[in-house]
Structure 1
Amino acid sequence: MIVDAYRKYAKALDLEERPALETALEELEKRGVVVLRAPTGYGKSLFSVAMGLAAYEELWQRGIAKVIHVIPMSSIVEDLYSRALERLTRKGEDADLKQLENALLEKYPRRWVGYQSWAIDADFKDPLYIWSSLVYTTFDSFVLNLYKITPLRAKRAPYESARSAIIRSLVILDEAHLMADPRGGKSLAVFIATIKSLRKLGVPVLIATATISDTVARLIKNAVDDVKIVASTVKECGKGGDVLVHDYGPKGHVDAYLKAIPLEELKNELKSQSFKKALLIFNTVDRAVRAYRMLRGEYNAVLLHGRLTLGDRSEAVMRAKSAEIVVATQVVEAGVDIDSDLLITDIAPFPNLIQRFGRVARREIKRGTAIINIDKNAYEASKAVYGENETEVTSKLLREYTKADKRLEVEWRNPCPEKNTYALLLEEFDRRAYPDIGRRYDVELSLALQTLNDLPTLSREDARNIMEKYCGFVRDAAAVPLIDPECYNNIKKPDEIRRCILLVSSDFLNNKKEYIITNGTIRVVVEALKRVDKMRDQVSNTLCKDRGVNEVSTEEYELPASMLFNAKGEVDCRKALALDYYVAKHIGTRAVVLGVIINKGYVRGEGLI
């Protein structure tokens, strides 16, 4: 049984017993799809390490050759990949990823842990999931591999190699609440299609989350027959129909308050608090950068958000371990292993707040304080990012549980849907915020993806046509790679270029097009494939055979901005998705676009503002 292998290798790795996880595995062998509801800090993240080791050592003989751990954000992929290598090699947190990878090779005869994400500066990349028994991957990349396109640099790789790897795996969809946006739209449609497609392929699927809504859980049950929900709870509580495992003892205590803190008063608020490590979470990059600039002179502070280059982000993640204050956006909301005793967060939808509260009193710290900032600007930022409905529902709900001293009368570590627990408030938020989710669910996209999966006659070209029609599968806007020129001009080796790259949405560029356009042109860095004559006599240097070989070189080209933008001056989604093709056609050779060079706006350590 799978669960026996898990117990064996979890014990070998000194992981704590997790009866709910074991029950989920037992149910998984019976029915194929299981939803695991477990509170933040439960220990879901290291589960895949034991399962991956089991696949590497013995489960491959029983049809599970690998474990694919799917995560919604690149920042979480990096954190979990690092923690997995630390656990397997027994190296400390001070080692960087490449040192950890080398330590893994010293301990095991082959490389069996890998990742797929553009935003990791390491060597064990496995974009098609071929080489590794344990792979950490973003949801975007997983969907591209499942639906016959393959991600980024592996665009021309045989997609059936990736699909065959998926078919022989156990798939973990972790932090599923971030993949299945209950507001509807593309992400929820793709999430449901992915589960249905994996079931048709016979792939066991474990969906793990602390805050998946009841509405989404019902959609999963309607989409796939015989789904079971396994819930980790405290004694004598839970939902009818769930498999309840009473194995959770609340860790740490959080005192939460509602306060209006204008950004200019943030420093005074921090001075009034006693803390060892503070985490400040803002809903927008601009607010996070402004706060960081105010604090960095007096505190050991670090800034983390989604518009940092790979190199700057890697350095920030390392610094965050010892920083006194971590200033961040929602990139630290899930999966990232930060243990703070003070959290100040912009108001956000209730499920997001629960995830943010999971970064307080997480391990060694036993008691912490969380302040939800309801200042006007924080409120407006939440509406801009998450929507007015979700923000207002959350605001009303929080005020209903706020006492005269502004303290929230909520048990933030109790997963039982009982009076004054976060679980009950989560249900109430779900009921008020998403009464009509079924009507917002994009059934057409979901069916198109399932058809791609079901019909072997449909190829990569068919998949790309669907992707261009919907401007991508997962994101609401196309992602465009950019390059920091200061970093690019100082690299010593071609493979260091990736440290200079950041991804931004087309929506951001539509408002900041001057960041990359100069006099109607853009500058791009590409890896170009050229035919080079190599067959020459070593003495006379004369051509001895009419034969050449392909060489890859890194080149910079100035191209018309119309190669990326449309006549309205907006990023054209189809052009962004097929930028390699348009650039290759223009320069006359096969090419992979590494990024568009930024003209202005990027500040080292602060990101693209």
Structure 2
Amino acid sequence: MSDLESIFKLNLALSYVLEEFENGGKVIFIAPTSYGKTLLSLKLIRIAQENSLSWGLIHVAPYRALVREIFNQKFRGMYPNVGYQSHDDLGIEDKSPYFLRDLVVTTLDSFIYNLFKIPVTEMSKIIGGKGTLGHFYAVLASINTSTIVFDEAHMYLSDVGGLESESLALLLASLDYLIAMDNPLVIETATLNTKVITYIAEFLARTGNKVSIVYVGSESNPQVRNLRRLRNEGVLLRTVVDNDFISRNSIKWRTEFIRSEDVVKKATEYCFSEPVLIIRNTVKNAIETYLKLREVCSKAVLIHGLLSNKDRENAFKELSNIVSNVGVIVSTQVIEAGVDIDGKIIITDPAPIENLVQRVGRLCRRKRLSECVEEGAQVYIVEGDISELAPMYNTERVIKTIDYVRMFKDIEWRLLDGRDSLKSFTNIIEDIPPQLDLSQVPQVITYELMKRYLGSDVRSDILMEIIKRYNLTNLIRSSILVNVLIPPIPSSVKEVKDLEYVSVDLNRLILREKDSEVSERCLEYEDDYAKLIILTPSEEGLVLSSDLVRKKLNEVKKEFNLVTALEYLLPKKEVSSSYGTFLLANEKCYERGLGLRI
């Protein structure tokens, strides 16, 4: 029996999701971390094709790191025609920017751009005034004939992932379009509040669609109690008590609080005997913690979003080595979705309950699961000034989360039902709803604009005018990623992945540059114009040439929107064909193993 078949045999609810999907419904699947939700797509694609429900399947994930994990560890080699789309280079031969492969895993950003008629691979041409609107009909044909799976849905269907009401409006407009096109839909989550689940279920059902919720928990679960009324509105709520999964995952969780100044001391108690995961909320704190532990523990690795592709690759190799042996992994929250650590010890900065559950969910995965059941798993939450430890999250929600964890003390961090003396995290999720009320989102003007845009034959040049007029920073997130090349620079390479670069938020980078003294700037300049490196294709591979951006730094506004960002990155010289452009870092801006200093 293959690993995939054994997972489906072990985890009972997976077969129920497949059954509801085959019956033509829109499915919302709520299951614990490590239940195997992501692997459903490998079965869903076959059912969709065999039953003529769709031609392909597009698996949408919130982050590049998760796309990388899913493609490399779960999809590649498990299906004959699989591809990916993200800002990363996981192999040009497997990249599928137009979603033409049967099974494609993509970032949410790429999916939204393609859906909104801006093919990601042609974005710079479309916005840069090259006289083309791109091949958007090809990618729309792919989307319109595919099953769409939204993985880790809590990261983009609530404000937990940092989305604002305008971004949520775009997502609901996208769901409206997919419902109108009758795309088969599956929404997967472990940590959505039932107010959000209820709204999405009603949203899907309002045009007469059959909607099913498969919930891995009992009828006495607090979330199930809150969802029951949906049964009176035609939504099928199917609860599954998976006793085998419960038995295998009856982990002896222990939760304690420690002071920030004791993090290093606590990590050294374990790092010589087993792997320890530490998650700090800021790059600065992660680096400081790593540098101290590097001097004490025999093995240590640092992972955050400002590492170059080369350093990140090396870091994940070292992570695998530590997971199999001993040592300490220091990371920011980039690791909280989809990366399996398989340890028993976590030390984490405070965060909203949904994020804490995802972080703890990295533990006790495969080989060490039985150890976690027999010996227990330890969760340490750092206490202190929330505004300093968790500045990127809503302070009120973080404080409430910490108060509830202190009150409950014994938390069941995996199962959706409590057991013995452990209260499930779902109790906390229900008592701390997201700040944003989804029911108010359709009142946002962005929703109506985008709904009408998607429902018409209007082209992307009109969308560009909407973005400019309403100053939408980005279609889905407030960040706009740009690649920054790390010197030394070769004259040519075979593929993009042969270069060393960091993907960074352009707004954050420019703000840092404008606020810095000339000698402290991170980028290379010529007469205050940032240097660009342009990749052009040749018979041998890719040739690198240099140019400058079109605006001086002192002429640039501190905040870009999607259009002005891409306009800024256009080279002064006209380029007939390019494979991409990079800003150029100076030599002192990047420190090997520690990342870009911004």
TM-score by length of structure 2 reads 0.82
In the TM superposition, what is the alpha-carbon distance from 1:261 to its structure 2 partner?
Answer: 2.6
What is the match of residue 336 of structure 1? 339
Identify the match of residue 232 of structure 1 among 212, 216, 219: 216
Rate the CA distance shift 1:243–1:409 in 2: closer, same or farther, 3 A. Answer: same
**Which residue number corresponds to residue 422 of structure 1?**
425
Match of 1:81 among 71, 76, 84: 71
1:116 and 1:137 in contact (8 A); partners too:
yes
Asked whether the 8 Å contact 1:114–1:125 carries over to 2, the reply is: yes
Alpha-carbon offset, residue 427 of structure 1: 0.5
Structure 1 runs of 4+ off > 6 angstroms?
Answer: 8-11
Is 1:175 the counterpart of 2:152? The answer is: yes
CA distance 1:70–1:39, change in 2 (3 Å): same
Which of 169, 173, 178 aligns to 1:189? It is 169
Cα separation, 2, equivalents of 1:435 and 1:337: 30
Cα distance in 2, alignment partners of residues 343 and 493 from structure 1? 41
2:84 to 90, 102, 115: 115
Aligned match of 1:289 in 287, 290, 313? 287
Who is 1:545 aligned against?
none
Matches within 5 A, 1:500-511: 500-511=501-512
User: For the structure 1 residues 448 and 497, does the alpha-carbon distance in structure 2 shift closer, same or farther, using more than 3 Å as the test?
Assistant: farther
Identity %: 25
Runs of 5+ in structure 2 lacking a partner?
126-133, 232-236, 515-520
Shift of 1:522: 0.5
Q: Deviations over 1:429-483 (max 9, x none)?
A: 22xx538554467732222222222112x01212333344312111113222211
Cα distance in 2, alignment partners of residues 292 and 46 from structure 1: 33
**1:280 and 2:260 aligned:** no
Aligned to 1:391: 398
Judging changes above 3 Å, is the alpha-carbon distance between structure 1 residues 158 and 374 closer, same or farther for their aligned structure 2 residues? same
Q: Which residue number corresponds to residue 532 of structure 2? A: 524
Residue 36 (str. 1) matches residue 29 (str. 2) = yes
SS at match of 1:398: helix
Q: Does 1:126 align with 2:117?
A: no
Q: Give runs of aligned pairs for residues 130-279 of structure 1, distance below 5 A.
A: 130=100, 132-152=101-121, 157-182=134-159, 184-225=164-205, 226=209, 227-233=211-217, 237=221, 238-239=224-225, 240=228, 241=231, 242-247=237-242, 249-250=245-246, 251-263=249-261, 265-273=262-270, 275-279=273-277
Amino acid at match of 2:589: G
Q: How does 1:457-536 map to 2 (within 5 A)?
A: 458-468=458-468, 469-486=471-488, 488-489=489-490, 492-493=493-494, 495-513=496-514, 514-516=521-523, 518=525, 519-528=527-536
Q: Which amino acid aligns with 1:484?
A: I
Greater shift in the superposed pair: 185-194 or 71-80: 185-194
- Give how far 1:573 is off: 5.0
Residue 392 of structure 2 aligns to a residue whose secondary structure is helix
Secondary structure of the corresponding residue to residue 260 of structure 1: strand
Q: Does 1:575 align with 2:546?
A: no
TM-superposed CA distance for 1:516, in Å, is 2.0
Q: d(CA) in 2 for partners of 1:479 and 1:86? A: 26
Does structure 1 residue 596 correspond to structure 2 residue 593? no
Q: Report if aligned partners of 1:360, 1:369 keep a CA contact under 8 Å in 2.
A: no
Conserved? CA contact 1:35–1:208, under 8 Å:
yes
Distance between the aligned counterparts of 1:517 and 1:492, measured in 2? 21
Deviation at 1:572, TM superposition (A): 6.1
8 Å contact 2:303–2:330 — kept in the other structure?
A: yes
Question: Deviation digits for residues 132-166 of structure 1, max 9, x if unmatched?
Answer: 11111000000111110011456654011111111
Aligned to 2:128: none
Which residues of structure 1 form unaligned runs of 5+?
1-7, 89-103, 402-407, 531-548
Cα contact 1:149–1:463 (8 A) shared by 2: no
Root mean square deviation of aligned Cα = 3.1
Instruction: Tell me by how many angstroms 1:554 deviates.
Output: 2.9
Q: Equivalents in 2 of 1:212, 1:395: separation in Å?
A: 18
CA distance in 1, matches of 2:292, 2:394: 28
Q: CA, structure 1 residues 78+261, in 2 after alignment: closer, same or farther (shift >3 Å)? A: same
